[in-house]
Amino acid sequence: MDDGAPAAHQHDFETMEMVREHLLPAELADRVAGVFWSLADPTRARIVHALTLAELCNADIADLVGLTESAVSHQMRELRLLNIVTAQRHGRMVFYRLNDTHVRHVFEDTLRHVQERPQ
């Protein structure tokens, strides 16, 4: 007899076991979330985008995104701690670039995703 109640969900135990074996450990999930947290800030997203286009010094980044050099330094410290950017000193100037192609791909894929979706 159908009493209108939804049927109980039956788990596919093989699928559940496969997912359980491959599920991110909490520590790694925290690190992944940290990368997305860093890009969740519009200023940092603009800085990362600029760095997909060129290696830039602190003063150039400040000029491009409309911040003080001190504010840029603070943002860059956050991005360095998350291994999103690397810094290299040339005399008194510090130049920043993306840490690796993975960062570029994550950003570019995310950018394409939001550009394809209607607002």
Q: Which has more pLDDT, 31 or 3?
A: 31
Neighbouring C-beta atoms of residue 98, cutoff 10 Å = 19
- Relative to beta strand 85-90, strand 56-57 is unpaired
> Coil, helix or strand for 93?
strand
Domain count, the chain: 1
Does residue 19 belong to any structural domain of this protein? no
pLDDT, position 118: 74
pLDDT in tens, 54-99: 999 999 999 999 999 999 999 999 999 999 999 999 998 899 999 9
Quote the pTM value: 0.80
How large is the average pLDDT for residues 96-116?
93
Which tokens belong to 100?
A: 């690796």
Q: Can you tell me which residue has the tokens 């997909």?
A: 52
Q: Which domain holds residue 39?
A: 28-116
pLDDT, position 19: 94
Could you tell me the CA-to-CA distances from 46 to 28, 40, 95, 99, 108 in Å, in that order? 26, 10, 16, 16, 12
* CATH at 79: 1.10.10.10
Q: Can you tell me which residue has the tokens 């510090």?
A: 94
Report the C-alpha gap between 60 and 33 in whole angstroms. 28
Does residue 66 belong to any structural domain of this protein? yes
pLDDT, position 11: 79
pLDDT, position 99: 94
Does the pLDDT value for residue 5 go beyond 70?
Answer: no
